[in-house]
A and B are shown apart, each in its own frame.
Chain A
């Protein structure tokens, strides 16, 4: 099954809407509650990333009998050094965003902790694609 959601830059009010919708779907599919939790925690993190640190983007989820693959494609600004950003505490967020409680540098590491596969591709000036996979 394929699901798509659009997220908008700085639309904090609706942060979590896509995660909630995907959560609702997984619960109906009898996916183990603890696995649902992992998916939702990782996805919420990625969703907020696209809203807080990027210029919005798209979330694509593909659910199969044994796994879910979620792709979060944002519209930039891109991450210059992914390996650096993957380490806890490192963040490219602006002071304004940090003041709102985001940008602590825990996002990508937290996603990695909760998924079975994580793939981050980024081009500065173009955007970042975070692809994650969780097995049921």
Chain B
């Protein structure tokens, strides 16, 4: 089992934490406790889904990012922007205007993450055809889902499709293209991903199944949104933009980061798209029991409405989905009229990307294991069951654990004591 620690983008500010336990109750993997009046994170359980960030009333949970000015450490500064970013702006702000502003504030190149979706889709479908014995196949598009499966569903790790996600494929593509077309040396090129969530940051900082990430830095979507929107406000209503050539994403690619975005492009006969982490957990329990038959492909996303629901996006997720749909419809119209060729931009590197799309082995890292040794684990479980019978089963959370069962486990693992339970104390 993989023992190297996870990098976590979610960080706790002890001074701001008031120990309210909201985060502990919201965590889908029971990775948080309240000890001595402050929230404490169990790093091996956290999957960077960001549910805690959403509910924290004092903003004591924050998300580390690279300083914006760190882009200027590079001569060639690439903004790797997911198309969700464009979905945050009002309809009268065009994609090309956003590209232009990104250039004005310091980037030398702008490319949308979804540029390599056609190759990604092809690689996934090929993997499915080459591995007919592994079903269902599970997409690795959402890094929080990959981590969820590693820690909570170790038996399904082998169902994960071990391929680079579009973020990495596109980083690979743009780096190669710039090196070929322009005179930059590899060290001159800095690729910065604009992230809608914490999980992507964690994936960049400690990639699963990879030695190092292809992305050099991460900028949070909310902070970049502020920079860009400020510029739009300064330019005022009468602003006449100079149309820039923008990367020609296909309608299919524009929609990829939304729920059903991958599923609609999959060759699989029977597939499901499931978003929001609790929905995913409920479904995976059934998949693990083999209760769901004849399913070939699963697109699973940790956030409601997928990436528009990311914790760092700046508008209501349903509004964003509609804007992204509107853009896809426009592109689809152009495609139908023959005004836009589908996906020509990455064609030149198709073979190179295909040959380098695989990631290394993804290992289980179960958070559930009580002890490596089964006899010891059995003994601990016996003690947990004894404690469980004693505890009130009210799951009040006052002890600092999210449930009575979690407290029982913590006691046996020497991380808490029975007297932490307020009901036990009274007796």
B381/A20 in contact, CB under 8 A: no
Q: For B373, give the chain A residue with the smallest CB separation.
A: A30
Interface residues of chain B, those whose CB is within 8 Å of chain A, are 154-155, 157, 285-286, 288-291, 364, 366, 368-375, 377-378, 381-382, 385
Chain A residues with CB under 8 A of B373: 30
Chain A residues with CB under 8 A of B154: 27, 33
**Cα distance A65–B380 when bound, in Å?**
12
A19 to chain B, nearest CB (A): 6
Task: Please encode chain A, from 1 to 45, with 1 for each CB lying within 8 Å of some chain B CB and 0 for all others.
Answer: 100000000000000100110011101111101101100110010
**Cα distance A106–B368 when bound, in Å?**
32
**Cα distance A40–B291 when bound, in Å?**
10
The 23 sampled A-B contact pairs (Cβ below 8 Å) are A1-B378, A16-B286, A16-B289, A23-B288, A27-B154, A28-B368, A28-B369, A29-B378, A30-B366, A30-B369, A30-B372, A30-B374, A31-B374, A33-B155, A33-B364, A33-B366, A36-B155, A37-B290, A44-B290, A44-B291, A63-B378, A65-B374, A65-B375
Closest 3 CB pairs of A and B: A33-B155, A30-B369, A65-B375
B289/A40 in contact, CB under 8 A: yes
CB of A83 within 8 A of chain B?
no
CB of A84 within 8 A of chain B?
no
CB of A66 within 8 A of chain B?
yes
Chain B residues with CB under 8 A of A33: 154-155, 157, 364, 366
Chain B residues with CB under 8 A of A1: 378, 381-382, 385
A136/B374 in contact, CB under 8 A: yes
Given contacts A16-B291, A37-B288, A40-B288, contact A27 B366 (CB under 8 A): yes
Q: For B385, give the chain A residue with the smallest CB separation.
A: A1
**Cα distance A28–B368 when bound, in Å?**
5
Q: For B156, give the chain A residue with the smallest CB separation.
A: A33
A13 to chain B, nearest CB (A): 13
Chain A residues with CB under 8 A of B286: 16
**Cα distance A31–B377 when bound, in Å?**
10
Chain A residues with CB under 8 A of B369: 27-30
How many residues from A make CB contacts under 8 Å with B? 24
Q: For A44, give the chain B residue with the smallest CB separation.
A: B289
B156 to chain A, nearest CB (A): 8
**Cα distance A19–B291 when bound, in Å?**
10
Interface residues of chain A, those whose CB is within 8 Å of chain B, are 1, 16, 19-20, 23-25, 27-31, 33-34, 36-37, 40-41, 44, 63-66, 136
Interface centre among A19, A30, A34 (most CB of B within 10 A): A30
Chain B residues with CB under 8 A of A37: 155, 288, 290
**Cα distance A41–B155 when bound, in Å?**
12
Q: For B155, give the chain A residue with the smallest CB separation.
A: A33
**Cα distance A19–B403 when bound, in Å?**
22
Of the residues B155, B289, B290, B370, contact of A29 by C-beta under 8 Å: B370
Given contacts A1-B378, A25-B381, A37-B155, contact A30 B288 (CB under 8 A): no
Chain B residues with CB under 8 A of A34: 155
Q: For A48, give the chain B residue with the smallest CB separation.
A: B291
A29/B291 in contact, CB under 8 A: no
Given contacts A37-B288, A40-B289, contact A29 B157 (CB under 8 A): no
B282 to chain A, nearest CB (A): 11
B290 to chain A, nearest CB (A): 5
A38 to chain B, nearest CB (A): 10
Other A-B contacts than A40-B289, A136-B374, 4 sampled, CB-CB below 8 A, are: A16-B289, A20-B289, A30-B377, A63-B378
Chain A residues with CB under 8 A of B290: 37, 40-41, 44
A29/B288 in contact, CB under 8 A: no
**Cα distance A19–B371 when bound, in Å?**
22
Given contacts A19-B289, A20-B289, A33-B364, contact A28 B377 (CB under 8 A): yes
